[in-house]
Amino acid sequence: MNASRLMALFHVSFMLVSIIALFLMATEVIIFDWLALWILVLAVALNAFFAVMWHDETKRKGVGKYETVAERERFFPMVSLVVLAHNQEPEISSCVKNLFNSAVNYRGPSEITVIDDGSTDNTYELAWSTLSSLQKETPQIHARVLKHMAHLGKQEAARTGANKATGEYVFIVDAATPCHDISINSLIDTIFSTREIMVTYEVRSPIREGKNAGPSKIWLCRADTLRRVLNEKQAVKAAEELRF
């Protein structure tokens, strides 16, 4: 029995005792006294009032033991999308557009950073112009293009992207990877449900010049963990773990 019901029973019991006392006083079973009379009348009135209040409290609908409680709004962390590009002028615009659409459909905040790893073609210019055009329509998604003056390799490009990322999670993809059907929501759901610090997603790369390049990988990793791995002195170990 809850506290509200107990208090209601207490006030009802006290009110009944007061009424009995008034009856006994009226029938002269006990000595009649005006002061005692008014005190008993006041006690009956007050206890009746509080009994009604506590009764209304017990009628309020609460969450039962087995009642389903509506799930609170899910929190979706900020994700930094990092694109690694080197001399990928033919693919960069399509890659950026697809990732931008993925960012728009993500239920949380996101940003896009393209790392041009010392390209000698127009990769940087096309990435910048594409992002600028898309941001005019969707300015809430922050986007930028960073360029290495020399070709340093994917690991260094990933290191730059991870160090510049402001999101809690970093999403890394090569610009040559087809990513038109990538769902950031699904990747975040996977990393939360499995409680892993990193998840990978394989995408089948298109056939080029009659050769199948094999599956490409996309990484989603906690930013602090990724920075720690990439900034280690053991660069070879980091490359093996992330398979760049």
Mean of pLDDT values over 81-91: 94
Q: What is the pLDDT of residue 183?
A: 87
Cβ atoms of 200 and 219 within 8 Å: the answer is yes
CA–CA separation, 81 and 145 (whole Å): 12
168: CATH: 3.90.550.10
Give 231's Cβ-side CA count (13 Å radius). Answer: 11
CA–CA separation, 222 and 227 (whole Å): 9
- What is the per-residue pLDDT across 197-214, written as a single tens digit (0 to 9) for each? 888 877 765 544 444 445
Based on the fold, state whether residues 53 and 89 are members of the same structural domain: no
Based on the fold, state whether residues 90 and 27 are members of the same structural domain: no
Residue 221 counted as domain residue: yes
Based on the fold, state whether residues 14 and 87 are members of the same structural domain: no
- What is the per-residue pLDDT across 164-194, written as a single tens digit (0 to 9) for each? 999 999 999 999 888 777 889 988 988 888 8
Beta strands 211-212 and 142-148, pairing class: unpaired
Element (H, E) at 142: strand 142-148
Based on the fold, state whether residues 92 and 9 are members of the same structural domain: no
Residue 65's pLDDT band (cuts 50, 70, 90): very low
Beta strands 142-148 and 110-117, pairing class: parallel
- What is the per-residue pLDDT across 108-165, written as a single tens digit (0 to 9) for each? 999 999 999 999 999 999 999 999 999 888 888 899 999 999 999 998 999 999 999 9
CA–CA separation, 202 and 180 (whole Å): 13
Lowest mean pLDDT among 51-65, 98-112, 221-235: 51-65
Cβ-based neighbours of 101, under 8 Å, separated by 6 or more: 180
- Res. 52: pLDDT tops 70: no
Based on the fold, state whether residues 25 and 95 are members of the same structural domain: no
Residue 71 counted as domain residue: no
How many domains, in total, are found in the chain? 2
- What is the per-residue pLDDT across 12-29, written as a single tens digit (0 to 9) for each? 666 666 676 666 666 666
Based on the fold, state whether residues 49 and 108 are members of the same structural domain: no
Residue 181 belongs to what domain range? 79-242
